[in-house]
Homo-oligomer: A and B are copies of this chain.
Amino acid sequence: MDVFEAIRSRRSTRAYQDVPVDDDALNHVIEAGRFAPSGGNNQTTHFLVIRSRQLLDELADLVRTEFSKMDVAEGMYRSLANAIRAAKSGRYVFHHHAPVLIVTANRIGYGNGMADCACALENMMLMANGLGLGSCWINQLHWLSESEAVCAFLRRLGMAENEQAFGALSLGHAQTSDGLPAREPLPRTGNPVTFIG
């Protein structure tokens, strides 16, 4: 797929088929992430690729439990407040039942951690779209990056002691009639541009 088309037609997929992602496609998505730029060419983004249904279910339960302990506060970021409300209701699966979750971790205290992980996530979303796969930025593990239980879970999966989760990607075949992600571009009414000179 042409790069501009991949960028313009990328959409967030929040419902997935219960169908695995084939290895070749998955490896292309991961390689796209690994080829993202990094501050000072540090290349310290760590990709944790979770495909075990059992582990994904356990992590969803853990995330629900952690959010359900929190309270919605005034002025709180809307998406976080929504996550807490949904978790308290007992129906909340943060990764949308995707068959693959790719956690992007980076060094604790590294000033470009979020920037580097975000570039990797964006590359992976574009590559997924180019391959006809759906994906969505998953922010919940970043919001819970100070949760000891979530950290301990991710460390058991291979996240190092000096790393924290900055974001994640859900990935899979979209639950749509043709199995492809929605691609009608959403209009951009915000993201203003000011031309100077």
Please report A residues at the B interface, Cβ cutoff 8 Å. 1-8, 10, 12, 28, 30-55, 77-79, 111-112, 114-115, 118-123, 125-127, 129-130, 137, 139, 157-158, 167, 185-186, 188-197
Contact = CB atoms under 8 A, between A and B. Distances in A.
B125 A126 contact: no
Contacts of A39: 77, 79, 137, 139
A186 B41 contact: yes
B193 A30 contact: yes
A37 B115 contact: no
A115 to B, nearest CB: 5
A107 to B, nearest CB: 11
A195 B49 contact: yes
Count of this chain's copies in the oligomeric assembly: 2
B52 A37 contact: no
Closest 7 interchain pairs by CB? A52-B197, A43-B190, A118-B118, A158-B194, A3-B6, A3-B130, A34-B191
A4 B127 contact: yes
Contacts of A114: 114-115, 118
Contacts of A112: 77, 139
Contacts of A54: 197
Contacts of A46: 191-194
B188 A35 contact: yes
A128 to B, nearest CB: 10
A111 B194 CA distance: 23
B4 A130 contact: yes
A51 B196 contact: yes
Given A3-B130, A115-B139, 18 more contacts: A3-B6, A3-B126, A12-B37, A35-B188, A37-B122, A38-B191, A39-B137, A43-B189, A46-B191, A46-B194, A47-B191, A54-B197, A77-B112, A115-B118, A122-B122, A126-B126, A158-B194, A158-B196
